[in-house]
Amino acid sequence: KQVLLKEHLMSGNPKDSNMCVSTSKIKLKLPRGFTGVLLKNLYLSCDPYMAARMKKLDASSSYALDMYRPGQPISGYGVSKVLDSGHPKFAKGDLVWGFTGWEEYSVITATESLIKIQHTDVPLSYYTGILGMNGMTAYAGFYEVCSPKPGEKVFVSAAAGAIGQLVGQFAKLSGCYVVGTAGSKKKVDLLKNKFGFDEAFNYKEETDLVVALKRYFPEGIDIYFESVGGKMLDAVLLNMRFKGRIAACGMISQFDGSQTAGVQNLMYMIGNRVRMEGFIVADHFHLYPKFLDLVISYIKQGKLTYVEDIAEGLDNAPKALVGLFSGRNIGKQLVLVSKE
């Protein structure tokens, strides 16, 4: 069973109808001399950048380089078991995470993205998120880009999602005051009562985001972890403190093209000497071993909480991916393909 790109995404946010589920036959044995691996996919990660790969664009207009092709399975991060290997680094039975297909079984030739899973005393699904690309994004963006100091005031958007929930908790572990925003009451409750944010608010219920931010940050924001862009970014720019830092991680509200003209307050960065820095997680993977040690020890000590939203089966995968753009997910969205 595979999830194929049915047709390119021409405008707006992705829809289920851009994808379809189909079946084809695969030999569960690699041909002799083949140097890749045959994987059984267990968990697949749903990530906003995947929608950009559905567009019919030249790759230079997106940070997601490999565009999906109609009729071909889409791909992304996943957790898989090696069923057969022609590669000296991998053996039958190994568990790995990295790039794989949205399908039950994948033959992977580009094995450089695959990382062998050594710690199996945590849920395997965690390698689609907190111990995988999302965790690394939160870690690199917060610690490397924002250089937090105890006592600083931190604001996180898309705070109840895969990355936001971790950034908020990293901020608390660094001795910061942290406020998150999300799009429902249930998510706001989670932020305050499960992830330990000092404050949280539902941005959809605010008539004036500038006023809302002033309520939680009367002296201004030192660090903004940016995942949504548009009107939120504009409101934040009016609330940044002297020498504040903005980690530009993502701008999901601008994906459909509706808010691109919305950011008008960039000039306020000048007087306040605000630094805004875009970053891509791929540039920080040399930190993965250090990150993994830290985060696994935090999980085992109960210092980090993690919420997943698990869609069951490939048939439900398109809907799960599309749901990221309406905020349907609560926590990290992933797909369970097979438990073993």
Site track for ligand NDP across 63-102, x = CB under 6 A = ----------------------------------------
Residues 6+ positions from 214 with CB-CB distance below 8 Å: 239
Binding of residue 288 to ligand NDP (CB under 6 A): no
Fill in the per-residue mask, 96 to 135: x = in contact with ligand NDP (CB under 6 A), - = not in contact: --------------------------------------x-
Establish if 37 lies at the interface with ligand NDP (CB under 6 A).
no
Helices (H) and strands (E) in the chain, counts: 10, 15
Using the structure block, give the residue that is written with the tokens 């908020």.
168
Binding mask 308-337 for ligand NDP (x = CB under 6 A): ----------------xx-x-x---x----
Report yes or no: 164 and 157 within 8 Å, Cβ to Cβ: yes
The residues with which 201 forms a beta bridge, in sequence order, are: 181
Which of 137, 169, 174, 239 is close enough to bind ligand NDP by CB under 6 A?
137
Taking alpha carbons only, the member of 128, 112, 122 closest to residue 47 is: 128
Task: For residues 168 and 175, give the distance between their C-alpha atoms in angstroms, rounded to a whole number.
Answer: 11
Which of 32-40, 76-84, 177-185, 295-303 is the region at the interface with ligand NDP (rule: CB under 6 A)?
177-185
- Distance (Å, whole) CA 64 – CA 113: 15
| Burial degree of 147 (CB within 10 A; 0-12, 13-18, 19+) | exposed
- When binding is defined by CB under 6 A, the residue of 108, 163, 314, 337 that contacts ligand NDP is 163
How many of the chain's residues bind ligand NDP (CB under 6 A)? 29
Residue 98 φ then ψ, to 5°: 155, -160
Which one among 2, 80, 227, 239 touches ligand NDP, defined by CB under 6 A? 227
Q: Is 224 helix (H, G, I), strand (E, B) or coil?
A: strand
Output the six-digit token pair for 37. Answer: 């691996």
DSSP 143: I
Which range binds ligand NDP by CB under 6 A, 90-98, 114-122, 216-224, 246-254? 246-254
Select the residue interacting with ligand NDP from 280, 297, 303, 315 (CB under 6 A): 280
**Contact set with ligand NDP (CB under 6 A):** 47-49, 134, 137, 158, 160-164, 182-184, 187, 227-228, 249-250, 252-253, 279-281, 324-325, 327, 329, 333
